[in-house]
Structure formats: structure tokens, C-alpha cells
Homo-oligomer: A and B are copies of this chain.
Amino acid sequence: MPYFDAASAAPLHPVARQALLASLDEGWADPARLYREGRRARLLLDAAREAAAEAVGCRADELVFTPSGTRAVHAGVSGALAGRWRAGNRLVVSAVEHSSVLHAAEVHAAAGGAVTEVPVDRSGAVDAGAFAAALGEGAALACLQSANHEVGTAQPVAEVAEACRGVGVPLLVDAAQSLGWGPVEGGWSLLAASAHKWGGPAGVGLLAVRKGVRFAPQGPSDERESGRAPGFENLPAIVAAAASLRAVRAEAEAEGARLRGLVDRIRAWVPELVPDVEVVGDPVRRLPHLVTFSCLYVDGETLLHELDREGFSVSSGSSCTSSTLTPSHVLRAMGVLSEGNVRVSLPAGTAAEDVDRFLDVLPGVVAGVRERLGVPAATPVAGSGAVAGSGAVAGSGAVAGSGAVGDSGPVADSGPVADSGAVADGVPVVDALVVDALGRRCPIPVIELAKVIGDVPVGGTVRVLADDEAARLDIPAWCEMRGQEYLGEEPSPRGGVAYRVRRAA
């Protein structure tokens, strides 16, 4: 049963398991105590710190263990901001940071601090120059991930660190996704990571703060972990985390190359095998084990369920798979399609056969979901063959006019209607249509748009009324994929938003 969601949590590495078991017996006592059980625990803790620091590339006394990567980020951001309050109160982050960074930024903003979000390009990468330009007056701290957790794109950390150093702003690198693959290059000031991403146990994060970086831990503290992470140390898990980091690093080069090949295979074949797919993220500067693609006219939650039924565990940034019903902020910042989104992240040791079987199964699963959503398989909207990337598929009038093929929901009642302004010289020329998708969820608004675009002449417009948050991202993304022209949004008189699209092809 292939598990393809290593970016959420990797299965426990055998070395982690072994180290955990051994230290359950040797490392349960309080390392702050003077008796033998305490001294033994202290030795284990010190050794784990040395090992982790070596893998991170810092001094042991610069590194503390935290209860999770999230807590490491929270402690790092708040401590560095407080340490730098004289310099300013502005936090600079990329728009695609992990939610732990963005949550810390929200708290900073709520307390009166300023936050600057540096945008990313369509591949998910920040531009180092743009990041540097954001480091202006009052910048207290910058945060940049080493590589993105949803699309795998590597960030120009070394260049950004250089720019930060130039203006004296510390850089916190969230290395959660990459630390198992290698140290973070460049002159970072703070670094956070999470053990269960590299095959260590849950319950362990790490925070490195370089000597010389002003740092004032926030919240109640105690004498543990240099006053930076209060509470009794999770020692057996810390030992296991450090041991497994060392173990995965020993395998990183060979295993990284192997997984990179498997991901290349997915990147190449998915658009060949599945119509109307967008593979996102940088194809070269990326994590070795992670690839993300989105399927037009597909409901992400159903897709995940169907893949799960076929034995594949993947995750998704589609709005329907999030508790807030909003698409992933990463996909939004990239401006790429969010519907039918699938993230595949291969754990170390993934068999090539499992990847091949995934590629065998995927096309049928996607076609099945589309069929149930009323997207006729034979129409150009979701036609089979290598249409992906062809840019523009003209909708056929027959499909669009059918209103709600295979869909018995309210769309049938709100099929396309000629816009009232579309009557010229007494002759009704349907060069402007309105699709009412109010109350309908992703991917229905985009499906309805695709159905009718062929009903207007080239140069004609379609307005899609929708109140689903995903439409804001997916309608422009569809236009980009389809070579149609996205004109913008305006308030809809019936509630929600009217998205305006001009038929360009």
C-alpha cells in the first residue's frame, strides 16, 4: 500500500525506531538531575545535540530541541523579533511560507507589528532581488523556507541570506522539508526543522540560533534548552530524531537521485496520460521527492478518496480538502489551478513499481471523477489525449447548450443565459453569456465556464457568478491554461462575484 505523503509525515526510519527503543530505558530521567539516571539522560541529550548540530551545520550550543517544527518556528520568529525591537518591527516573509510562519506573522501583526509578504512567481519561487528590496526600513527579521512544502520549489536561500547579511537583518530559514536531504547553504541566522519529516519521531523540532543573533525568548521560560524551549525534554524522541537525521543524511545523495528520477517520471507522464492537467513547481530547482499537479474539472476530495481506495495516500491543496474551504495559500500565491490538486511526496525507499502503478491508475481515477461531475469524457473540455498545454480548446456549442449534462443539481436551473446587453440592432447575437454558479463549489464553476465558452464568438465574454473562494484562483488559472483572456472580477448583483472571461481562441 504505497504511502506518498512523506511531506506531511514520513514513516519512522528503522534507525529512529532502534534509537527510541534503546533510549526508553536509558533516557527517561530528568537530564537536569545529578544522580546517575539523570547523568545518563544528560549524556544522551548532549550527544543528540552534537549530532543534530553537525547535520545542521552549527555549534551544539546554538541548537535547542523543541516539541515540533511548528513550535520551533513560533519560538524562532517571536524571539528574533523581540531581540530586534530596537531595529524595527517589520517581518518580511515569502508568500508561500508554511502556515506556522504565517500564523506567527499574524500574531505579530495583531500585536501592532508590520508584515511584508514577498510574492512568488508561477513556479513558487521568490525572486532574490525582490526579497532584498523588501528588506528596507524597519525590517527586523526575514523568513524564507529552504524549499516549498506543497510544490517542492527550492528558494534562493543563499542569495537572500547574502542580501540579509548586507543590511544586517537576520534570516530565519524554515528547513522542515529539506533538512533530511542536506544542510541549508548560505549565511542564515536562524533555522527551524521538524524530525517527523525526515523519518524521526513526532514530538521533536529543532531551532538553531547563530551566536551573535539578538534573541529574546518570549513567553514563560525555564532553565531547559537554554531558556528557549520550556518543559521537560522529550528525550528518547530527541535521541531518535538525531540518530535518524544522521542515517538519512548518509543515504541522502543516492536516495535523492533515485527519487528525483521517479518524480521526473511522474512529471513527464502525468500530462501525457491525463488530459487537462497542470504540473506545478520548478521542474529542476526542487526537492527530490515531491511533485504536485492539478486536474481541471476535478473535485480534489473525491480524487483523494478514489486514490485512497486504489491504495495511494496523497494530499491536496484543493479548497474542498481544507477545513476552511479555501485553496492552499501556496497555489493561490503562485496563481495556479487549485482544483483537482494532488501532491505526491515519496518517502525514502519508495519502489519504482509503486510509482508506475500510480501512473497506471491515475488516468482512470481522474476520468471517473470527471464523469460523475458531468464532464463528458469525449468532449474537448475533458477529451483524452495530449491536449494538456495545448492552450486553447474551443468549447463546442452542443455541450455548453446542454446546460447540465449528467448533473442533476441546481445548475440545470441556472444554465447560461444571454446577457441583457447582448441584443444589438434587434437581432439577438449571443456574444455575452452569464453562468450562474452561485452556491456551487469547486470545480463546478470552472466546468460550467468551460461548457459555455464555445457558445460565444471569439471576442465575446462570459461572466461566471460564483461565491466559492476557489473560483477566484481557478477561473484565471483556467484562462491561463486555455489561452482565454481573463478580464477581472466585479461584484455580482445577485451576491458573490462575477468573473469576466473573454473568448480569445
Nearest CB on B from A196, distance (A): 6
User: Judging by beta carbons under 8 Å apart, are B12 and A100 in contact?
Assistant: no
* Interfacial chain B residues near A230, Cβ < 8 Å: 68, 70-71, 74, 100, 103
Q: Are B34 and A5 in contact (CB under 8 A)?
A: no
Q: How far is the CA of A21 from the CA of B25 in the complex (A)?
A: 13
CA distance A305 to B220 in the complex (A): 31
Q: Does A205 contact B (CB under 8 A)?
A: yes
With beta carbons under 8 angstroms apart, the residue of B24, B103, B201 that contacts A221 is B103
Interface residue A407 (Cβ < 8 Å from any Cβ of B):
no
What would 22 A/B residue contacts be, using CB atoms closer than 8 Å?
A: A1-B36, A3-B29, A3-B37, A5-B30, A5-B37, A8-B30, A9-B232, A12-B28, A28-B201, A33-B313, A34-B301, A36-B308, A67-B234, A68-B230, A74-B219, A74-B230, A196-B232, A201-B237, A202-B236, A203-B234, A234-B234, A234-B237
Q: Are A69 and B232 in contact (CB under 8 A)?
A: yes
Q: Is A38 an interface residue (CB 8 A)?
A: yes
19 more CB-based (< 8 A) A-B contacts, given A9-B232, A103-B222, A201-B237? A3-B29, A3-B35, A9-B28, A17-B24, A28-B202, A29-B313, A33-B315, A37-B313, A38-B313, A68-B231, A69-B232, A99-B222, A100-B230, A106-B220, A196-B232, A201-B236, A202-B232, A203-B237, A223-B323
A-B complex: 5 closest residue pairs judged by Cβ atoms? A67-B67, A68-B231, A203-B234, A35-B313, A70-B231
Min C-beta distance of A342 to chain B, whole Å: 12
In contact, B219 and A231 (Cβ under 8 angstroms) = no
Given contacts A12-B28, A70-B230, A233-B202, contact A34 B308 (CB under 8 A): yes
Query: A304 contacts the other chain (Cβ, under 8 Å)?
Result: yes
Which of A11, A30, A220, A323 is most buried by chain B, counting CB atoms within 10 A of its CB?
Answer: A220
Kindly report which residue of chain B lies nearest to residue A221, judged by CB atoms.
B103
Contact A12 B24 (CB under 8 A): yes
Q: Can you name the residue of chain B whose Cβ is closest to the Cβ of A202?
A: B234
Collect the chain B residues with CB atoms within 8 Å of residue A74's CB.
219-220, 230
**Nearest Cβ in chain B — how far from A322, in angstroms?**
9
**Contact between A30 and B17, CB atoms less than 8 A apart:** no
Closest Cβ of chain B: how far from A482's Cβ, in Å? 30
Find out whether the CB atom of B34 lies under 8 angstroms from the CB atom of A222: no
Residues on the B chain within 8 Å of A220, using CB: 74, 100, 103-104, 106-107
Q: How far is the CA of A237 from the CA of B37 in the complex (A)?
A: 21
Interface digits, A1-45 against B, CB 8 Å rule (1 contact, 0 not)?
101010011111000010011001100111001111110000000
Residues of B within 8 A of A103 (CB): 220-222, 230
Q: How far is the CB of A92 from chain B (nearest CB, A)?
A: 17
- Tell me how far the C-beta of A78 lies from the nearest C-beta in chain B, rounded to whole angstroms: 8
Q: How many residues in A have their beta carbons less than 8 Å from beta carbons of B?
A: 65
* Interface presence of A321 (CB below 8 A): yes
- Is A161 an interface position by the 8 A CB rule? no
A202 & B235 in contact (Cβ 8 Å cutoff): yes
The reply to whether B33 and A5 form a contact with Cβ atoms under 8 Å apart is: yes
Measured CA separation A232–B200 after assembly (Å)? 13
| A314 is an interface residue with CB less than 8 A from chain B | yes
Q: Is A484 an interface residue (CB 8 A)?
A: no
Distance A304 CA – B5 CA, assembled complex (angstroms) = 50
- Give the residues in chain B near A107, CB-CB below 8 Å: 219-220
Residue A194 at the chain B interface, CB threshold 8 Å = yes
Smallest CB gap from A324: residue in B: B223
Residues of B within 8 A of A5 (CB): 29-30, 33, 35, 37
**Would you give the shortest CB distance from A301 to chain B, in whole angstroms?**
7
A78 CB contacts on chain B under 8 angstroms: 219
Cβ–Cβ < 8 Å partners of A9 in chain B: 28-30, 232
Q: How far is the CB of A5 from chain B (nearest CB, A)?
A: 7
